[in-house]
Copies of this chain bind each other. A is one copy, B any other.
Amino acid sequence: MSEDVQQEPLVKEIPPKAADLSAWYTAVCLKAELVSYAPVRGCVVLRPYGFGLWENLQKHLDERFKATGHENAYFPLLIPESLLTKEAEHVEGFAPEVAWVTEGGKEKLEERLAIRPTSEVIIGVMYAKWIQSHRDLPVLINQWANVLRWEKATRPFLRTMEFLWQEGHTAHASAKEAREETERMLDVYTDFAENVAAVPVYAGVKSASERFPGAVETYSIEALMPDGKALQSATSHDLGQNFSKAYDITFVDSDQQIKHVYTTSWGMSWRMLGAMIMVHGDDRGLRIPPRMAPIEAVFVPIVRGESTAAVEKAKELANALRAQGYRVRVDDRDQTPGWKYAEWEMRGVPLRIEIGPRDLESSTAMVVRRDKQKGEDGAKVSVPFDQLGARLRELLDEVHVSMYEQAKAFLESHTFSVTDRDEFFEKCRTRAGMIDIPWCGRPECEAEVKAATSATTRNTRPLQTPGAVCVACGEPAKVNAYFAQSY
């Protein structure tokens, strides 16, 4: 396997995004130093700049989890095979993806240990020990962890053997509370995707065939990529009593009856970063939405001759901004300003602050927005030094809104409400985007569409037109569904 070390392509240029999204994506992830391929098939290293994205995702999601009453905990990486196999659907869903530990130290193990592909099992076993009474409920726990699913392909963030994620696991006294929790966390994910990552999504219910193994109902948020394929960006599962019955998680209710709890689980992984990169990037490279940006603004001092005045002023301003909580950097490397502009544009920093000799005289900086094209209205803003602290926050918010609006416009212009069967199949086949139809909800119908077009349901919502028939098959429609090809 160690030959893989050599196989990382040397990225010189980023290919045009529209021509080959996949090549563009890989080149951007590598060249911007978000990731490197690791010497283990299917694995990547999250480099500091990529980890900076993950830290911001963690910060914003974790705040939201805590604000909704959740606490973090940590459960073991290894799960004995005998425990994993108790919930039948679950094990069937995950067994083909499990990496097995069979030797420890010098010893062959009597029982294989699975590296967690997800933690419902180990957490269910612990909840069975911890929960005794209705007073112990609800249990609202989240875990930030690495998980592993056997996988040979490697696409940074989208498809890797090991990945980072969070997994929430909760237990409730009633089905109603569990369903409310499932929906609440879906709302948290929607809020995060749109208001932090600036990625508009459709939130809804998964079809039966797309459900999490062992779930009663799975919800998802789905984003649309520039190639017309959908990317599932987070899921929230109502597990009903399936896991509590398999792992015997019971409580004494206030009526003195022993009952099984209702559980949920919900997760977002570094896949969300992949969605964000594809949605926002352009031919110059990454465009990182400000709330996710490891560097919100980069100073490029323009040095004339031997004078270090611009560099010193940039450092002074940067320190003042840091004291106000901004994430800023000063690029004082021995390179031309043009080289630095291209470099930081490629790395997607939302704002560039240029300080040249004339700016020093007038005590103003030129702030350049990454979200706009060169020459576009508002792409450059002159800001007096003493107003940078106040103005940057506004500008970053404006960049966020403009990036969100651009992505929203794309999503809306690539969402089609279709009533004609032929048009539906044609749009599915040509990967036109999100194809919205009244749908019967039958697995057979979904399977036929998939066989003919390779599109599947992304998620569903209540039927928008009472009495409509399924556009795909003509049976009575039960819901509205977005169909799309997907990652």
Contact = CB atoms under 8 A, between A and B. Distances in A.
Contact of A74 (B51, B97, B101): B51
18 contacts: A1-B82, A1-B111, A2-B82, A2-B83, A36-B129, A38-B75, A39-B125, A40-B78, A40-B80, A44-B76, A45-B73, A46-B73, A51-B73, A52-B72, A78-B148, A99-B105, A99-B113, A105-B150
Contacts of A82: 1-2
A11 interface: no
Interface in A56-104: 71-80, 82-83, 96-104
Interface in A270-304: none
Nearest to A130: B36
Nearest to A78: B40
A48 interface: yes
Contact of A99 (B83, B98, B104): B104
Given A51-B74, A73-B46, A106 B96 contact: yes
**A1, A130, A141: which has the most chain B beta carbons within 10 Å?**
A1
Given A45-B76, A48-B73, A99-B103, 9 more contacts: A5-B128, A36-B129, A40-B78, A40-B80, A48-B141, A52-B72, A77-B115, A78-B162, A99-B105
Interface of A: 1-2, 5, 8, 36, 38-40, 43-48, 50-52, 54-55, 71-80, 82-83, 96-107, 111-113, 115, 122, 125-126, 128-130, 141, 145-146, 148, 150, 161-162, 164
Given A46-B74, A55-B72, A71-B52, A105 B96 contact: yes
B43 A78 contact: yes
A306 to B, nearest CB: 21
Contacts of A45: 73-76, 126
Contact of A5 (B50, B99, B103, B129): B129
Contacts of A46: 73-75
A181 to B, nearest CB: 17
Contacts of A101: 99-102, 115
Contacts of A8: 129
Contacts of A113: 40, 99
A54 to B, nearest CB: 7
Contact of A100 (B55, B102, B164): B102
A462 to B, nearest CB: 36
A73 B47 contact: yes
Nearest to A106: B96
Contact of A122 (B39, B72, B103, B145): B39
A148 B76 CA distance: 10
Contacts of A97: 105
A45 B123 CA distance: 9
A2 B80 contact: yes
Nearest to A100: B103
Ranked 10 nearest A-B pairs via Cβ: A48-B71, A105-B150, A46-B74, A43-B76, A100-B103, A104-B150, A38-B76, A1-B80, A102-B102, A99-B104
Contacts of A105: 96-99, 150
A413 B107 CA distance: 45
A72 B51 contact: yes
Contacts of A79: 40
A9 B185 CA distance: 35
B126 A36 contact: yes
Contacts of A145: 146
A80 B150 contact: no
